Structure 1
Amino acid sequence: APLSDPPVPAVPASHEGTSCTEGAVQGGEPSSAQQQHSPYRGLWTAERPRVKGQHVSGYQWEETEDEMEVVCPLPLGTNKGDLRCKIMSRELSFGLCEQQPFLSGQLCGRIDLDSSGWAYEPAENDDVPPTLLITLSKVESDRRFWGYVIYDAKLWEEDANDGRAQREHEPSGSALQLPGIE
């Protein structure tokens, strides 16, 4: 008997536009055979690159070109009313009332205040700390990867110096002979 394509399942409207990477490398293009024979061929969309990071103080972040989500564990017993969170277009500060902020400083880029915000997530039980989730939506002109949440001039200077040290032993542009130019 000749082989036929498998039936295409009905997809609920709530799943339209979702990512399907069945048989494909995450974030990669499916092969032409996968596109032709996959029942999900109309649903496949490329995954957006994400960068994840963690600071030694305990907060973590996940970043795309469009936004950054920061997850901060809070001390056990912290209530929503205990929090102070200040979000400005270029600065972020949050902590507990009457205490030094957990995280404070200039952001690595500008954010859209109307699309940014924070949410308190209570603990599911007494052994797990509550968390603070901060969503920072980047303005159109700063839609690039920041790498960090808070701008640290010392850290950026060290990175720049590391890059210069690696280039000291590379030949300069004038030392290279270009083809056809004497």
Structure 2
Amino acid sequence: MLELVLFSLPVAIYVLVQTGRRDCTAADALGRVGATTGTGRDHWRGVILFIPLLIAAIIAAWVIPADVREAPGVSIASVASVGAVVGVVLRALGEEVFFRGLLAGVLIRRLGFAWGNLMQALAFLVPHAALLAIDIRLWPILPVQFAVGWVLGHLRHVTGSFLPGALVHIVANVVAGILMG
């Protein structure tokens, strides 16, 4: 829950500041951060991306030695309880709100798609790189996280909404957690 709040706080501040401007309505500000429902077609695009992203995540997790995956303090999306599922869902939602909603929206508008999406995908690696402090053998997660960040940034760009990507991210994390748990 804390991660969702922390990731959402900058987005809420951005929306409030933008709405305070004379030329920006609340709907405009929410649209800038991708807080729209998207269309049915947008969600189908997410469904198509789900399988390859899930496969990549599972392969990365399986490449990590079992002693590392099972070490205290390491949980590679393991979901063994309802509370764990809720935590995985809220973390993924918070990441999408911040990285794809706010960060990708701002960077792509200012730098163009290629550079903006690259920058938000690299920024998405920062909190995941902390896993290397636990064990360097967790490195296979990082290329997958970069790819996920880039692909979901592309989805955010073409749909104008972070919601299709959030749904993909949430379902992939929960399914991977069930399979790995």
The TM-score with structure 2 as length reference comes to 0.23
Q: Which has the higher strand share?
A: 1
Report which of the two has the higher share of helix. 2
Larger radius of gyration: 1
Larger relative CO (CA 8 A, sep 6+): 1 or 2? 2
| TM-score, normalization by structure 1 | 0.23
